[in-house]
Structure 1
Amino acid sequence: MTAGGNRLAVAVVGGLHADARRAAVEEILRTVPGSVALHHDLSAATDRAVRRTVRDASGPLGEGEAPLVNDCACCALREDMVPELLRLAMGGGHRLAVVELWDSVEPQAMAAVIAAEGAPLELTGVATAVDPALMVPYLSNGDDLADVGLAAAPADRRTVADTFARQLEYPTVLAVAEDTTCEEPADDGDQALLTQLTPGAGRVRLGEGALGPALLQGFDVEAAAVRQHPACALLPQDSDDHGVSTLVWRRERPFHPGRLHTALEDLTCAAARSRGRFWLADRPDTLLSWDAAGGALCVESAGPWLAALPDAAWELVPAERRVAAALDWHPGHGDRCQHLTFTSPRLDRDNVLALLDSCLLTDAEYAAGPGGWKHLSHAFDELLDPAA
């Protein structure tokens, strides 16, 4: 309980699996004395407002509306959330405020907003609620959020699959609520897929009363952001369990840009989820991120490789990234490397391996060195430099 508004623990619970998310929040309210839930419903954004509700285990405590900000429902959420949390903190009487995110809102952005506010708010946990039986349907859903009524802004171009993947991979706690909406219960393959995709998260089964305590342990926003950066992301490990496989592919030779570009569609569709960082021969100083789900791929520049930076700049780089670079360090080209992971039921490992290896520079191409690589096809220019 806060004393004169000194401190209010705040936990974030999100997830596209709405029934699982609601069950998670209800369990927290039921099992953690002095807990209260704050929820912004973005489904009414077409009416130019975001609906806010506050409730505890006994029922509603209050409601209201937040006007849209720049036609962005998610922006309205950010503008309204902190003042409401501060009001709850200053009012006293609450031990924990649970921010229940709307379906497509990703926890990383909201966690950062709460953490940046500081006292009297203290971010103590972030969880995503998930029904394992829905893993494959959601990871394979390439529909735009706008097409299924879940976009948070007119310019929201995210898909169901990539949004779900990021919701899974950011938090340190997964609230597992099985059999909430599916006629077919989760099987061992569904559980294996969830486990392989989330190596850094603890799993809490709903119904056992452990979620509330798990969300009071503390949460480091900066460390979580580092875990998401392509240069040092906590990626899945090689695995094969109950028909679900994760292939970890690491190589110390750059991709031929033309051959990789030709293979993009096949590689994107080869797995339910693929992630990592890679190196193109014609862009030797640029660390590129690979992020694919639901048959859609996002390739972006994630800044320079450490080997491309002057020594003086290394002190500005997070220690976690320097450690990750040291693990991959090569005497000739530093931390430049290929590190991609592919996770999926019925993954054709041999085909993915052969296709990836065929996209690397040949011995003759590699021998030409960086000077020769500059004359290779610049097939990724349009994808990476659309304004050029």
Structure 2
Amino acid sequence: MGTEVVLVAGFTDHDVADALWLASPDSVLVRHDLSGLADGVVRRWIDGRLTELTLAHGCVSCTLRLDLLPLLEELNGRVVVHLDPALEPEAVCFALSETDIRVEAVITVVDSDTWLADATGSDTLADRGLGAAEEDERTVAQVVVGQAEFADALVLTGTDPLLTAVLDRLNPLAPRQDLAALDVTSLLAAIPVNARRGRFDDGFGSLLYGKPTLESACGVSVVHFSERRPFHPMRLHKAVDVLLEDVVRTRGRVWVASQPEEALWLESAGGGLRVGNLGPWPAAPSQELVVITTSASPEVITAALREAVVTDEELALMDELEFVDPFGEWHEDEDL
């Protein structure tokens, strides 16, 4: 029969995983607590039975590789996995992609009272006492935005027009229910056929997943920036500042003059930013960024990015110029 999982994520206390478990009598409920991970300790519950594990290396990837994946491969049928608040479902699904385990759905619980502040803030997980390990430098914004963005369905703890406007642009496909009136059966049934269900792209797909509206609402705007000439690396590094204030999410492919053959991936949430490498451009370079902002001026963001693009003179001399490149080494989980 194999194993299919429902992943339940969120940065708030909730009983959604329990509701899913109870609604499916033959399912298994798995829950992890990674609060002791820095000391190599992982607490895991299976249908309420606690097991305390000791890992030689206390890190999230080791928890997935040495505990969660082997456990799920042993189980058959539906498994409801209540993820620790510090876990991002996309990373879990990436690990599951190497197995035969099927992701039935990813459900994220959004705290309507705190999510927007968290999503635009600069606190790290360590600031909240939630760092999964000493080297875990992720921000709360990176986690909560990633949890909501990757979800197939969302459960909200209340209503807020501003939050609704953000989620309409961050994840327009995901059906939503209020926690107080939760019906997990109908929520799962409402997930569209083209939902992710654990799938992810290679970074070269559409950045407007789910075709969100580009119209502004409640002060929330979407900036869709594209350009067929590269960025000047130092000017782009300076322009990054506009992506770290009053911005919920930035995602996109970046082309810098100092690395003309490489496609860089830039992603921000709140005050945290990541830059990674996608590899060679599969076709002619054409950079593209999508920015969701709650109050920052779209015109200011667009102007800052436009000014960072190389000039006609720089473009003509690109093969001769030597650029100082702050993106020479890829930056992961770094607040630039």
Which category describes the TM-score, using the shorter chain as reference length?
A: 0.7 to 0.9
> Which residue identity is paired with 1:276?
G
Q: Which residue of 2 aligns with 1:14?
A: 9
2:324 aligned residue (372, 378, 388): 378
Residue 125 of structure 1 contacts residue 217 of structure 1 at CA under 8 Å; is this kept in 2?
no
Point out the more displaced range, 278-287 or 41-50.
41-50
1:263 aligns to 2:239 (yes or no) = yes
TM-fit CA distance, 1:340? 1.0
Alignment partner of 1:246 is 2:222:
yes
Deviation sequence 1:88-112 (CA, Å, 0-9, x none): 43xxxxx521011101111123224
Q: What are the residue-to-residue correspondences of 1:30-69 with 2, within 5 Å?
A: 30-45=22-37, 48-55=40-47, 60=48, 62-69=49-56
Identity %, equivalent residues: 31
SS in 2 for 1:224: coil
Match for residue 78 of structure 2 among 92, 96, 101? 96
- The answer on whether the counterparts of 1:11 and 1:125 sit within 8 Å (CA) in structure 2 is yes
Alignment CA distance shift 1:215-1:77 (3 Å): farther
Corresponding residue of 1:194: 167
* 1:144-198 deviation line (CA, Å, top 9, x unaligned): 2123221222221211111222222223x1222223xxxxxx3211111112111
1:78 and 1:216 mapped to 2: Cα distance? 30
- Structure 2 SS opposite 1:9: strand
Please give the per-residue CA displacement for 1:286-311, whole angstroms capped at 9, x wherever unaligned.
1111111222322222211113xxxx
Alignment of 1:148-167 (within 5 A): 148-167=128-147
Cα RMSD (Å): 2.9
Q: Is 1:117 paired with 2:66?
A: no
Structure 2 residue runs without a partner (length 5+) = none
Deviation of 1:240 (Å): 0.7
Map 1:184-333; keep pairs closer than 5 Å: 186-206=159-179, 207-209=182-184, 210-213=186-189, 224-226=199-201, 229-235=202-208, 237=212, 238-269=214-245, 271-307=247-283
Q: 1:169 corresponds to which letter in structure 2? A: E
Residue 115 of structure 2 aligns to a residue whose secondary structure is helix
Partner of 2:157: 178
- With over 3 angstroms needed to count, the CA separation of the structure-2 counterparts of 1:214 and 1:81, relative to structure 1, is farther
Displacement of 1:39 in angstroms is: 0.4
Instruction: Work out whether 1:354 is the aligned partner of 2:303.
Output: yes
Larger radius of gyration: 1
What is the distance in 2 between the residues matched to 1:267 and 1:190? 19
TM-score by length of 1: 0.75
**Residues 120 and 247, structure 2, Cα contact 8 Å, conserved in 1:** no
Q: Secondary structure at the match of 1:52?
A: strand
TM-score by length of 2: 0.85
Structure-1 separation of matches of 2:191 and 2:91: 18
Q: Tell me, in whole angstroms, the C-alpha distance in 2 between the residues paired with 1:53 and 1:365.
A: 59
Cα distance, 1:15 vs. partner?
Answer: 2.0
Distance 1:385 1:196 in 2: 26
User: Does the Cα contact within 8 Å between 1:124 and 1:217 map onto a contact in 2?
Assistant: no
Q: Is the 8 A contact 1:52 1:64 kept in 2?
A: yes
C-alpha contact 2:258 2:325 (8 A) present in aligned 1: no
Paired position in structure 2 for 1:316? none
Q: Which amino acid letter does the alignment assign opposite residue 291 of structure 2?
A: F
Unaligned runs of 5+ in 1: 1-5, 90-94, 180-185, 308-333
Encode CA deviations 1:97-140: one digit per residue, 9 max, x unaligned.
Answer: 1011101111123224445332xx54322222223343311112
1:339 Cα shift? 0.9
Say whether residues 1:24 and 2:16 are aligned partners. yes
Tell me, in whole angstroms, the C-alpha distance in 2 between the residues paired with 1:199 and 1:378: 39
Which residue of the partner structure matches residue 143 of structure 1?
Answer: 123
Partners of 1:219 and 1:51 in 2: CA distance:
31
Give 1:87 deviation, angstroms.
4.8
Tell me the distance in 1 between the aligned counterparts of 2:271 and 2:217: 23
CA distance in 2, matches of 1:212, 1:132: 21
Mapped contact 2:231–2:255 kept (Cα < 8 A) = yes
239 and 347 in structure 1: CA distance in 2 versus 1, 3 angstrom threshold: farther
Q: What is the distance in 1 between the residues matched to 2:61 and 2:258?
A: 38
The whole-number CA distance in structure 1 between the counterparts of 2:317 and 2:147 is 40
Q: Matched residues in 2 for 1:360 and 1:376: separation?
A: 16
When residues 304 and 382 of structure 1 are mapped into structure 2, their CA distance, relative to the original with a 3 A threshold, is closer
